[in-house]
Amino acid sequence: MSDQRATDVPTYDAAVVGAGFAGLYMLYRLRGLGYRVRVFEAGDGVGGTWYWNRYPGARCDVESVDYSYSFSPELEQEWTWSERYAAQPEILEYLNFVADRFDLRRDIQFETRIASATFDEGLHRWALVTTAGESVTATFCVMATGCLSATKLPEIEGVESFAGPTYHTGRWPHEPVDFSGQRVGMIGTGSSAIQSIPHIASQAERLVVFQRTANFAVPAWNRPLDPDYIAAVKADYPARRELCRQSQAGFPPSPVEGNALEATEEEREKRFQEHWDDGGLRFLGSFADILIDQAANDTVSEFIRQKIRATVKDPVTAEILSPKGYPCGTKRLCVDIGYFETYNRDNVTLVDLRANPIERITPTSIVTADETYEIDTLVLATGFDAMTGALTQIDITGVAGQKLKEKWRNGPRAYLGLVAAGFPNMFLITGPGSPSVLSNMVVSIEQHVDWVVDCLEKMRENGQTEAAADLAAEDGWVEMVAQLADFTLFPKANSWYVGANVEGKPRVFMPYIGGVQTYRQHCDLVALGGYEGFSFS
Ligand code: NA7
């Protein structure tokens, strides 16, 4: 399986870090072409995000028929999704099915976390060391580490002193958690909280939700998938996949016609209502100017606030839940199932941290400026060090001893969001500077993996073993990514897209916002032009 050199360090063509959607597909592609590949996965199973995020109500916010691999027509026909938005157990089952179907497990080393990766300039190889001290080397290193995998604890005094059970939504236990009879405190109201709150509230004796920022959410209208619908999707999968690849966000778009500000109030309301009734992330496509014009955005923001006021019976709670102060969609839009209705329950209390901040956590309570909330269980739905956290947690050293963490001190930099200059032969799947979190991740992952594999094949043909991004190309790309973001309302929000949730993180809008279709064209043109912006040796 691997070359054993005199040093006894196993040697591979490619080391892949992570066995989620990206790592599995990378392994499948490279092994199929005869590369010797080893995947390193911290968990004891495949799945990545879907392995770790097991909180009650965890569900994808992209429709399941689109949030799935397109590389195998057989797989597409063999697998049948049960719901419009698949829940975490079903997605994990799918990824396990894929791992078995393509016999992937034999090249995955589970329960193995990579601690460091160092480029050996003499040997033109990466040397990886695990946290257990095991070493391997590989010509290519593929970081399939995920964009939302480095969990983030809140910087609250005493958080670690809490004596009862504490759960982070992104590191949920494998056994179900029973909240019956419990007084639960939940910190955070992002997507993970919005999905889990209705479930926890229905079990717990009391749930107190601590909200720092209210979030916009649109209904999922989740439902079992009708067999006729499934049959129609399966019959037309190639065309549907192509539509996704050629779209802005990686799922079939709704036709966007016109600007909100050019429509009459009645026309706007009608369009918003139609999109609301359709549900899900397509809501933001109601009009073309929503994410670029503040006045247009105000109209859609107010539409959602009205929906919240109409749902939540207590007007004070409704007002606290109504997002203000940032444009709708510029923090990740949430897709909800019964979230706002949950606040009509007698056992649920909302605490507005803007008015009444948390001062500290004690072994038995959460103490705010005004009140002490005694709790038995603490749930932290406080998110992730997004896009860069999983990479900077690894001690990555490139050419001339440069550390990736140091290079990215003022914000992440990578050509095409794929390769950082000074770090040859290291590929960042859905890295910062690519559409990644602004898209259907599976579509973006397949595009990145296919592009990288084509690049490696071209190198093999030419007898080359080292690919490096040019600094000038990287600078140009990073500048363009920033300019595109500045054309939109996105930089206005304190979101994890700009790193605002992590103290000391530089404020840089990290993903490429030009859309998966345009991004794909850029990447294809680079390849067609003989890999412009890359140097090979
Ligand atoms: P998010 O979306 O980052 O949400 C984290 C939430 O936790 C958010 O409401 C934060 O408020 C809140 N938070 C974080 N730190 C604190 C402190 N110290 N005090 C109070 N509240 C805090 O993470 P999710 O896991 O929900 O979702 C991540 C993505 O996964 C999601 O967008 C989907 O793409 C899937 P803030 O808004 O920062 O004021």
CATH code: domain of residue 189 = 3.50.50.60
Query: Based on the domain organization, do 290 and 424 belong to the same domain?
Result: no
How much distance in Å is there from the Cα of 463 to the middle of ligand 1? 47
Question: Do 23 and 51 have their domain in common?
Answer: yes
SS3 label, residue 83:
strand
Q: Exposed e or buried b for every residue in 134-164, given b needs 16+ CB within 10 A?
A: eebbbbbbbbbbbbbbbbbebebeebeebee
What pTM does this model have? 0.97
Decide which of 352, 383, 414 is a domain's last residue.
Answer: 383
Which H or E run contains 148? none
Q: Is the minimum distance from the CB of 493 to ligand 1 under 6 angstroms?
A: no
In a domain, 484, yes or no: yes
98 in ligand 1 pocket by Cβ < 6 Å? no
Nearest CA to ligand 1 atom 17: 154
Q: Is 501 in the pocket of ligand 1 (CB under 6 A)?
A: yes
- In 3D space, the residue among 457, 438, 413, 458 whose CA is nearest the CA of residue 517 turns out to be 438
| pLDDT more than 70, % of the chain | 99
Gap from CA of 382 to ligand 1 centroid (Å): 4
Query: What's the mean pLDDT when you consider all of the chain?
Result: 97
Domain of residue 283 covers: 254-314
130 in the same domain as 78: yes
Residues 168, 281: one domain? no
Residue owning the nearest CA to atom 37 of ligand 1: 213
Q: Closest residue (by CA) to atom 10 of ligand 1?
A: 188
Over 90: is that where the pLDDT of 132 sits?
A: yes
Region 261-281: mean pLDDT is 97
User: Which CA distances in Å does 492 have to 221, 233, 259, 293, 330?
Assistant: 29, 38, 20, 12, 7
Whether 406 and 486 share a structural domain: yes
**Mutational test site, ligand 1, from 67, 212, 494, max ligand atoms within 8 Å of CB:** 212
Residue type, 295: A
Q: What is the mean pLDDT of residues 231-242?
A: 98
Residue 415 and residue 511 in one domain: yes
Distance from C-alpha of 194 to C-alpha of 337, rounded to nearest angstrom: 8
Centre of ligand 1 from the C-alpha of residue 180, in Å: 25
Q: What spacing in Å lies between the alpha carbon of 217 and ligand 1's midpoint?
A: 14
Distance CA 409, CA 35 (A): 34
Based on the domain organization, do 46 and 103 belong to the same domain?
yes
Among residues 345, 364, 383, which one ends one of the domains?
A: 383
> Looking at ligand 1, which residue's alpha carbon is closest to its atom 16?
154
Q: What is the pLDDT of residues 134-149, one digit of tens each?
A: 999 999 999 999 999 9
pLDDT at 240 over 60: yes
Residue 165: pLDDT above 80?
A: yes
Residue 175 has pLDDT above 60, yes or no: yes
By most ligand atoms within 8 Å of CB, the mutation choice from 21, 88, 191 for ligand 1 is: 191
State the pLDDT at residue 301: 98
Q: Are residues 15 and 127 in the same domain?
A: yes
Other Cβ atoms less than 10 A from the Cβ of 370: the count is 10
Q: Do residues 474 and 392 both lie within one domain?
A: yes
502 and 416 both lie in a single domain: yes
Q: Is the dihedral of CA 254, 255, 259, 262 positive or negative?
A: negative
Question: How high is the pLDDT of residue 272?
Answer: 97
* 431 within a domain of the structure (yes/no): yes
In angstroms, what is the span from residue 495 Cα to ligand 1's centroid?
A: 9
Number of domains composing the chain: 3
Distance 151 CA to ligand 1 centre (A): 10
324 part of a folded domain: no
pLDDT mean over 24-37 = 98
Examine residue 234 and state whether it is found in any structural domain, yes or no: no
- How sure is the predictor about 7, in pLDDT bands with cuts at 50, 70 and 90? low
Look at residue 256 in the predicted model and tell me its pLDDT.
78
How far apart (Å, rounded) are the C-alpha atoms in residues 288 and 410? 32
Q: Is 45 within a domain?
A: yes
- State the pLDDT at residue 5: 47
What average pLDDT does the segment 69-94 reach?
98
d(CA 99, CA 499): 33
Q: Which atom of ligand 1 approaches the CA of 191 most closely? A: 26
Q: In whole angstroms, give the CA distance from residue 398 to residue 341.
A: 51
Same domain, 166 and 22: no
pLDDT reading at 58 higher than 60: yes
Atom of ligand 1 nearest to the CA of 156: 18
Whether residue 537 lies inside any domain: the answer is no
Q: pLDDT tens across 431-473, in order?
A: 999 999 999 999 999 999 999 999 999 999 999 999 999 999 9
Atom of ligand 1 nearest to the CA of 501: 38
| Last-in-domain residue among 314, 343, 360 | 314
Task: Look at residue 4 in the predicted model and tell me its pLDDT.
Answer: 47
Segment holding 236, helix H or strand E: none
User: What average pLDDT does the segment 244-250 reach?
Assistant: 97
459 and 354 in a single domain? The answer is no
| Cα distances (angstroms) measured from residue 449 to each of 63, 287, 513 | 22, 32, 20
> Each residue of 478-496: pLDDT tens digit?
999 999 999 999 999 999 9
Residue 86 is inside which H or E element, if any?
none
Residue 497 is assigned to a structural domain of this protein: yes
- CB of 353 within 6 A of ligand 1: the answer is yes
CA–centroid distance, 331 to ligand 1, in Å, is: 10
The residue whose C-alpha atom lies closest to atom 38 belonging to ligand 1 is: 501
Residue that wins the pLDDT comparison between 93 and 2: 93
Enclosing H/E stretch for 51: helix 49-52
260 phi-psi bin (left φ>0, alpha ψ -120 to 50, beta other): alpha
- The pLDDT of 96-103, averaged and rounded, is 98
Q: Is 253 in the pocket of ligand 1 (CB under 6 A)?
A: no
Q: Does a structural domain hold residue 349? A: yes
- Secondary structure of 383-409 in the HEC alphabet? CECCCCHHHHCCEEECHHHCEHHHHCC
pLDDT at residue 1, rounded to an integer: 42
